[in-house]
Structure formats: C-alpha cells, structure tokens
Amino acid sequence: MKNALLVVNALLIIAVAFLLYKQFNGNTSAGGLQHAGTSLPKGKDSMLHKNAVFAYIDMDSIQEYYEVARNMEREVEKKKGSITSELDKMDKSFKAKVGGYQKQSNAMSEEQALAARQDVETTQTQMMEKRQSLMDEFNNFVASKNMSVKKKIEDYLKVFNADGTFSFIFAYEPGLFYYKDSTYDITKEVIKGLNEQYKSEKR
C-alpha cells in the first residue's frame, strides 16, 4: 500500500511543481515582478505581494497513527491472505492431479496419455487466468482503499485549512524530498483531527 501511495504522492508533487513553475516563471522581470510589456488581469496584481506558505504531513506517521489508514492496512492484509490461500489450494490441487497421472502413466494407453496431457495443459491455462484475475482483483481493491483514504485526508485538509493559512500542503515520504524543515510539519495536528473526525463518524 505504501508503494501505491508513494506513486500517487509523487505524481501530485510533480503536478504542483509544474503549476508553481507556470505561475511564477512568467511573472519575473528586471524589476522582479513581471515580464516587460505584460500585465496581470485587473485585481490580480495583489497576488504578487502574497507569500506562499507551505506545510507538509508525514505519510509514514499518517499510516501508523491514522485509524482509517490502519484499518485499511488490516483489510488489505486480510484480502491478501485470502487470495494467497486460494492460490495455494489451487497449486496443491494441480500438483495432486499431475502426481495422479504420473502414477498411472505406465498403465495408460496412448489415447489416455494424450487426454491426460491435454487435461494438464488446460488446467495450467485455467490456473494462469485465475491467478491473473485474483491479482487484478487485489490490485483494484488496494487502489480503491488507497483512494478512499486519500480522499478522506484531502477533504479534512480543506476543513483544516479553511482559514487559508497554508498555500500548499504536501505529503512527505522519504526519498521524495532532499530536505524538510520540521517547523512546517503539521502531521500531529492533522492526525489528531482525522482521528477525532473518524470517532465522530463512528458514533
């Protein structure tokens, strides 16, 4: 699940970085405000004097302490265990079938041996299709759960930042940033609010 969140967060960061580039790249001039001969729409020039305030939440901590994320992790592990168990039964059944044919091989006619070989090949194909189906089901399940948790966090952050204190709130994961200033870490406050919201919803 962490790998999936990492990919989602990496894409979000790239998108935000692109938007920042688009916003500020065209607004610098010799005077530091805008290109010569260009102007901002009426009423928008005040934006040039605003400071962008950034904050971040630590996704490892979210995963560890946010109850919804922890519940999701348990559901994912349970689903994984169920699929693994089904695949194991399927493998054991196949091995038993092959073993049975091997024991009978010396007494089989040419026609029976051909039928046995075809049965084994058909079973192998069915197993591959079933395995792929189960893996697709699992991946879709994980993606759905991840998106559900992500949406809950996004929705809460809109409430958390209703006063407009922060311009951007990033999701921090090791490997995505070379440096972070803990002064702008709002993880504890966000986790507290998320869990309080979750308890309220449960009631």
- Please compute the mean of the pLDDT values over residues 169-192 and round it to a whole number: 87
- 167 pLDDT exceeds 70? yes
Bigger pLDDT: 11 vs 103: 103
How far apart are alpha carbons 131 and 133 in whole angstroms? 5
Bigger pLDDT: 163 vs 1: 163
- 84 pLDDT exceeds 90? yes
- 102 pLDDT exceeds 70? yes
CA 166, 196, 161 angle in degrees (round to 5)?
Answer: 10
- Please compute the mean of the pLDDT values over residues 29-57 and round it to a whole number: 57
- Please compute the mean of the pLDDT values over residues 75-103 and round it to a whole number: 96
- Name the band, by pLDDT with cuts 50, 70 and 90, for residue 36: very low
Specify the residue for token string 């699929």. 83
- 200 pLDDT exceeds 70? yes
pTM of the entire predicted model: 0.70
Ramachandran bin of 164, using left for φ above 0, alpha for ψ from -120 to 50, beta for the remaining angles: left
Which residue type, as a one-letter code, is found at position 14?
Answer: I
Tokens of 37: 């001969």
- 40 pLDDT exceeds 90? no
Question: CB of 171 within 8 A of CB of 56?
Answer: yes
How far apart are alpha carbons 91 and 77 in whole angstroms? 21
Specify the residue for token string 């308890």. 199
How distant is the alpha carbon of residue 166 from its chain centre? Answer: 24
pLDDT of residue 30: 38
- Name the band, by pLDDT with cuts 50, 70 and 90, for residue 24: very low
- Name the band, by pLDDT with cuts 50, 70 and 90, for residue 57: very high
- 25 pLDDT exceeds 50? no
- Please compute the mean of the pLDDT values over residues 120-131 and round it to a whole number: 96
Residue 35 DSSP code: -
CA 30, 36, 38 angle in degrees (round to 5)?
Answer: 135
Closest CA to 149 of 159, 157, 137, 138: 157
CA 168, 159, 197 angle in degrees (round to 5)?
Answer: 125
How far apart are alpha carbons 82 and 26 in whole angstroms? 54
